[in-house]
Structure 1
Amino acid sequence: MSRVEPFPDAGRAAAAPEKRRGEPEQPPDAAAPRGGTASHDGAASHDRYERVIAEVWREALCVDEVGPHDDFFRLGGHSRLAVKVADRLREAFQADLPMRMIFDHRTVAELATAIAARA
């Protein structure tokens, strides 16, 4: 997986809201794909989508953590930032992803499912 480049204006964000608490903490490798059976390939692929989306959001929103059920707009996202995030996701997934997807699928998990369905 390629590293997502940082947002050029990420340092200018004013006091971004902190991540909502209540998400269960997981060890760093808990989301890593396990095994190589065909039955796990779909889950591993979905996990990859979630990891990339969370990283892009984390950098764009200037927050330390983004969980699968965090809402882009409740974390401080807005329409101009959604444009930049959509561009980063298009680049990361090499796919034609309309910006509207961020508005229609506001959490990492929902957006990962929607992107996986288009793949």
Structure 2
Amino acid sequence: MSKKDMIEQLRHRLASNDRWALRALMRIYQNQTADEQCRETTIERNGIGFTGPDAEILTSFARHYQRRGSLSERQMIILRRRIPAYARQIVQGSDTTRLEAAFSSTVTTQAAEPNG
């Protein structure tokens, strides 16, 4: 699978699967510097972490998720709308073999489920 295909497939997963969206949220949050996490903003232009417009809200979601273990349905709607923009960053920082395997296992699992 090409990187371009992988990014597109990941964008789709992030927009439609809460588990994938939450894992991506936490991965991108961890890419923020400690100062950026603390200030809920983007300070460094280093190509990783949240963009300026997303930093405050997505940092607050990440902190909420760390404390409570879940997000509200309204927060999830916003997250599923915003997090696909970070698919390229996630692919660049991931083991692509493991990511491909995760795509394959999810497809296999969904195909085996009734009404899936």
TM range (shorter): under 0.3
Give me the TM-score of the superposition, normalised by structure 2.
Answer: 0.27
Rg: which structure is higher? 2
Q: Which has the higher helix share?
A: 2
